[in-house]
């Protein structure tokens, strides 16, 4: 979702090609490069397991994730967010 939004902005900026000065286009290209980096990071985060995104321990997930019979909506785990 975030990846798609960032890519959409990058593509919209591409529409300015030929409509701005060379100096302005160089600045836009630099911004597009930063957007591509952000899109790559977003893609990695969106595909990462929950513990990686929230900074939880890879070896010891929160107790609520271990309890199979616990109601997911009632989970009140403390995380490192």
CA of 1: how far to CAs of 7, 39, 47, 54, in Å?
10, 10, 11, 18
The answer to whether residue 9 sits within a structural domain is yes
Spans in the chain with pLDDT lower than 50: 66-70, 72-81
The DSSP secondary-structure symbol of 72 reads: G
Predicted pLDDT at 21:
96
Pick the closest to residue 39 from 70, 11, 80, 76 (CA basis).
11
pTM of the model: 0.58
Question: Is residue 62 domain-resident?
Answer: yes
Residue 79 in domain: no
**Residue 48, in any domain of the structure:** yes
Q: In the chain, how many domains are there? A: 1
Asked, for residue 59, whether it belongs to a domain, the answer is: yes
Whole-number pLDDT of residue 78 = 47
Q: Which domain holds residue 58?
A: 2-74
In this prediction, residue 55 carries a pLDDT of 59
| CB neighbour list of residue 17: distance below 8 Å, 6 or more residues apart | 25
80, part of any domain? no
């Amino acid at each position: 979702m975030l990846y798609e939004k960032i890519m959409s902005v990058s593509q919209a900026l591409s529409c300015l090609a030929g409509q701005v000065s060379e100096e302005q286009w160089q600045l836009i290209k630099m911004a597009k490069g930063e957007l591509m980096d952000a899109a790559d990071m977003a893609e990695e985060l969106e595909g990462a397991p929950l513990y990686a995104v929230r900074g939880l321990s890879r070896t010891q997930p929160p107790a609520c994730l271990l309890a199979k019979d616990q109601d997911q909506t009632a989970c009140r785990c403390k995380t490192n967010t």
